[in-house]
Amino acid sequence: MKNILVICTGNSCRSQMAHGYLNFYCSDKANIYSAGIEVHGVNEMAIEVMSEDGIDISMNSSNNIDEYISINFDYIITVCDHANENCPFIPSTNAIRIHQNFNDPSKSDLLGLERKENFILVRTEIKNFCKDFTNDNF
């Protein structure tokens, strides 16, 4: 089994969505972890839009990257520029590092239905990325 770590700033939206999709697409081939360089808690709207696509992340926890420092990762995926630029060194010597920036839907000024549609847009982008990643690497 391979170990995959997904990182964003607060481990609340983007990395949680990627964690959910990667767990769905390759749980029989990999252990999936997600973390942030900060801990903000799992975003309720992220839980809602993922649930609408059949992925339950409601029991996920928001974790700090330091919690996983002793795990040897095969892949380290950053899903935001801030985490990519500010992530502390992770001593996984052979890890393949992948970066793909996604907009943070929790930072949007949109309200109501427009806010939810923005979350769905980011969710779809992350879903497609995770499908491609799984197809390319497993």
* Residues catalogued as catalytic: 8, 80, 87
In the chain, where do the E strands start and end? 2-8, 30-36, 75-78, 96-99
- What the block records as the tokens of 41 is 């808690």
Q: What's at 6, amino acid-wise?
A: V
The answer to whether the Cα torsion of 40, 5, 70, 37 is positive or negative is negative
Q: Which helix (H) or strand (E) holds 117?
A: helix 112-137
- What the block records as the tokens of 26 is 């390759």
